[in-house]
Amino acid sequence: MENKVPIVSVVSSFSGLTMPVIGMGTASYPPVDAGTLKSAIVEAISAGYRHFDTAFIYGSEQPIGAAIAEALNIGLIKSRNELFITSKLWCTYAEPDLVIPAIKMSLENLQLEYLDLYLIHWPLKFSKEVSRFPVPKEEVSVIDIKTVWSAMEECQLLGLTKAIGVSNFSSRKLEEILSLAKIPPAVNQVEMNPLWQQKELNEYCKAKGIHVSAHSPLGSKGTLWGDNRIFDCHALKEIAEAKGKTIAQRWQICLRWVYEQGASVIAKSFNKKRMEENLEIFDWSLSVEELEEIRVLPQCKIISIGTFIEPSAELEAQL
């Protein structure tokens, strides 16, 4: 099937990176089995998805690799080059001598020779393998930006990834990277949705030439860390009804809103019909009045480091 998804240029990348503005997310809690995930990825490629977002910690790299191999074998795509694959450096490997082994491990899982985008997952380092959540605060520290980013740059220079970036970074942490980077981050993937709009961070990234990619555009409903606030939002329900969307389709309002902010969006669904509906946001737009209704919605962050680690005021102050 011909790709339906528009492409966005990520101008800060040395490689002149372009990426589809909608990617399929693969983080799930509780985790789905590998066979289910592989089948969902193949269905997504058939539906028109070309951007897939994974991470070492998700446990989805191997099923994605198997799905890509199958898609090539049955002719859904002619070349791996048709796909855009993002993965992430997990906190356990956020040390300069572990970055290249970590990306090579992800590439082996994915059965790929290179990634399109490799991100630092969080600006945090864990002292050992995580055995429980929340992670004990004594096992967590802020990463050494200078040495870890240098190792990320080496990944790009070696051709292991076409571009590098970060995830869940504040403007303060981005400023640290920009002050020392030879290759600036191409992307900052952060939580972004109508109830956590990230206005200041989005403006900062635009000014610095860093593309914003939105994870959790629907509030991570159904996960350990998410909630139903977006689905229960009365204003979003009304806008959906005005657009002729069913109550079950109101997530399209959130995806369209993110797209109109100039960001790309990572949307996760393993349901075939919903995967297709997630792509149906490009032939309509939100009105000025509807955008204003969304602009004034009360803001509340869903995902924070406190979701995954024990409370630490000292650590929070460094981020």
CB 77 within 8 A of CB 3: no
Q: State the catalytic residue, choosing from 49, 58, 118, 259.
A: 58
Distance CA 165, CA 119 (A): 5
Residues within the annotated binding site for substrate?
Answer: 121
114 noted as active-site residue? no
For 116, the token pair is 């399109």
Burial of residue 197 (CB within 10 Å: 0-12, 13-18, 19+) is middle
Torsion of CA 258, 205, 3, 273, to 10 degrees: -30
Within 13 Å of residue 290, how many CA atoms lie on the same side as its CB? 17
- The closest alpha carbon to 121, from 56, 52, 172, 173, belongs to 56
Show the DSSP H helices in the chain as ranges.
34-47, 61-74, 99-110, 145-157, 171-178, 199-208, 234-242, 251-260, 272-278, 288-295, 313-317
For tokens 């997990």, the residue is 90
Residues within the annotated binding site?
Answer: 121
Q: How far is CA 166 from the centre of its chain?
A: 10
Distance CA 253, CA 48 (A): 20
Q: Which residues are catalytic?
A: 58
